[in-house]
Amino acid sequence: MAMEQAFLFLFPLFLVFSLFLPFLAKLSEAERRKKIPPGPWPLPILGNLHLLDPQKPHLSLLNLSNKHGPLIFLQLGSIPTLVISSRDIAEEIFTNHDLTFSGRPQLITPKKLLYNCSSIAFAPHNDQWRQARKIAMFELLNPRRVRSFEVVRREEVEKLMATINDLPVANLSELTLSLTNSVICRAALGDDFGDGGYSGKGGVSVHQLLSETQSLLGGFCAADFFPIMGWVDRLRGFHGRLEKNFEEMDKFFGRIIQEHLISREKEEGNEASTMDGGEEHNDFVNVLLRLHKDAVRHGGFLSNIDHVKAILVEAFIAGTDTASATITWTMTELMRNPRVMNKVQAELKQITNGKSHGFIQENELDKLEYLKQVIKETMRLRPPVPLLLPRETIQPCEIRGYTIPANTRVIINAAAISTDPNVWERPLEFWPERFDGSRVDFKGHDFQLLPFGSGRRKCPGISFAMVIVELALANLLHSFDWSLPGGMKVEDINMDSAVGITTHKKEPLCLVAKPKW
């Protein structure tokens, strides 16, 4: 809806500027003489924006790639854009030109919500980003710290099981979002906010805050394609929503930080203080505040408290959304494929020595080879972020004989790559056995499967997200038998996805869970 409204505002301008069509056509033809990749002819002003379906942009881009090739050039508004839709080109880029393609466009929404893009995922490629990524990899998401939250994950999954046990029909879309939100809140912020409260009078709930943030990040912003037309976003109310969401987010994380600082003051001088000892058990706020204190003394990236907030906001968003979407889509595919469901449950029964009860522990997950194949297959067909996050070239380069200018926006269509019939047998079929005996994984080294990206810019939180996904699915499938509610048939399951950066199921997945004991 947002994109349609934007086009209504832009249409009069389109009519005015169409008077300059002959002049613009000459300029476009001059550009075409350069060795840039092929692509559809752009309209004045809009460029190729009219060719994108705002509901399913990855499918629109796939159709364009099928017509013009796996490496195409688009003019999206005033933004030159490169679209990559093949494994081979992705491999060439990530192997030979990763640095060149490591920039990030400075988009309006993340720039505002992430304190001038002072986080990790949306930060431009510079020394500040390198410091932030180093902090993420070595302080927040190292294997030891991920393991330290095992108790948190187990307790939250156990709560999920208990909740489902009491429901006649379980809305797994909502329940899995609540699960991942609680895990990330406890790990990052030290509180699960289980009542959905903001812990402050007049504040919005954590769930409302997260939902609005995700909506804004996935929404259409005219200024991202027409930098001189920010007034369009103000006129349609987008800037007002963005400002309100930022103020609520800033207030929320400001309060969280203040509470941790007060707690720190009370514990100063205590040799058993968790701020100075036993760091592997700290939440992200405590870790970042320790680093902030050091940076204030000695200089460095985290000397600005807004940078602490930016990393926390990003962890809050990314840690919740992709994991819940993957769990929901996996359960959806299993309901549509009973053979696969039965095979997974048989594997679970085998590793528990035939016992029908008991909690699947994290140290048992490595034994679940078929479950891992099922999750890979889900992410192949339903990558959480089908277009990944946009990149930007930081210098010119040459790809397949074509010249790619600096400051070109880059879209990697991970969904197109992972369903390419030239690479995958029966590409549109849910067939987990394709990974049996295969070393293909999703950690960024196998370019036909890139749900988390690759190279310098791949998601640093893969291990944190995947252990939640595997633990939740293992226990959902081990504890319950699942069926569709109210005489609903498998063919009735709506497989449409919602609009946004992360591909959630458009209609909630509601199932009946029958306890096995």
Closest CA to 467 of 337, 328, 326: 326
| Residue 502 contacts residue 218 (beta carbons within 8 Å) | yes
| Cα torsion 474, 480, 486, 488: sign | positive
Which helix (DSSP H) or strand (DSSP E) does residue 189 occupy?
none
286 φ/ψ sector (left φ>0, alpha ψ -120 to 50, else beta)? alpha
Tokens of 370: 């078929």
Closest CA to 515 of 166, 16, 69, 192: 166
Tokens 């500027």: give the residue: 17
Strand bridging mode 397-399 / 402-404: antiparallel
Tokens 């009946």: give the residue: 512
Q: What are the 10-residue block averages of pLDDT along the chain, 517 residues in total?
A: 49 46 46 77 95 91 96 97 97 96 96 94 93 92 93 96 96 95 91 55 69 88 93 94 95 93 76 45 88 90 93 87 94 97 95 78 96 98 94 96 96 97 96 96 94 93 94 97 93 89 92 91
CA atoms in the 13 A half-sphere facing the CB of 286: 21
- Which one-letter amino acid corresponds to residue 493? I
Tokens of 152: 């948190």
Q: Can you spell out the DSSP letters for 23-49?
A: HHHHHHHHHHHS-PPP-PPPBTTTBTG
Per-residue pLDDT at 354: 65
Q: Measured between alpha carbons, how far is 104 from 124 in angstroms, rounded to an integer?
A: 5
Tokens of 39: 């692509």
Local structure of residue 229 (DSSP, 8 states): G
Per-residue pLDDT at 517: 76
**CA-atom Rg of the chain in angstroms:** 24
| Residue 57 contacts residue 385 (beta carbons within 8 Å) | no
Q: Measured between alpha carbons, how far is 176 from 195 in angstroms, rounded to an integer?
A: 15
| Residue 159 contacts residue 171 (beta carbons within 8 Å) | no
| Cα torsion 201, 207, 208, 212: sign | positive
What are the chain's domains? Answer: 2-268+275-515 (1.10.630.10)
Which helix (DSSP H) or strand (DSSP E) does residue 471 occupy?
helix 462-479
Query: Could you give the C-alpha distances from 394 to 109, 110, 398, 456, in angstroms and in order?
Result: 21, 19, 13, 14
- Which one-letter amino acid corresponds to residue 12? P
Tokens 């208990």: give the residue: 162
| Cα torsion 351, 352, 356, 358: sign | negative
Tokens 């942009």: give the residue: 57
Q: Rounded to the nearest 5°, which phi and psi values hold at 155?
A: -65, -40
Local structure of residue 188 (DSSP, 8 states): I
Per-residue pLDDT at 301: 86
Q: Measured between alpha carbons, how far is 325 from 181 in angstroms, rounded to an integer?
A: 12
407 φ/ψ sector (left φ>0, alpha ψ -120 to 50, else beta)? left
Strand bridging mode 409-412 / 79-84: parallel
- Which one-letter amino acid corresponds to residue 168? P
| Residue 418 contacts residue 388 (beta carbons within 8 Å) | no
pTM greater than the 0.75 cutoff: yes
Give the SS3 label for residue 94: helix
Tokens of 4: 């349609």
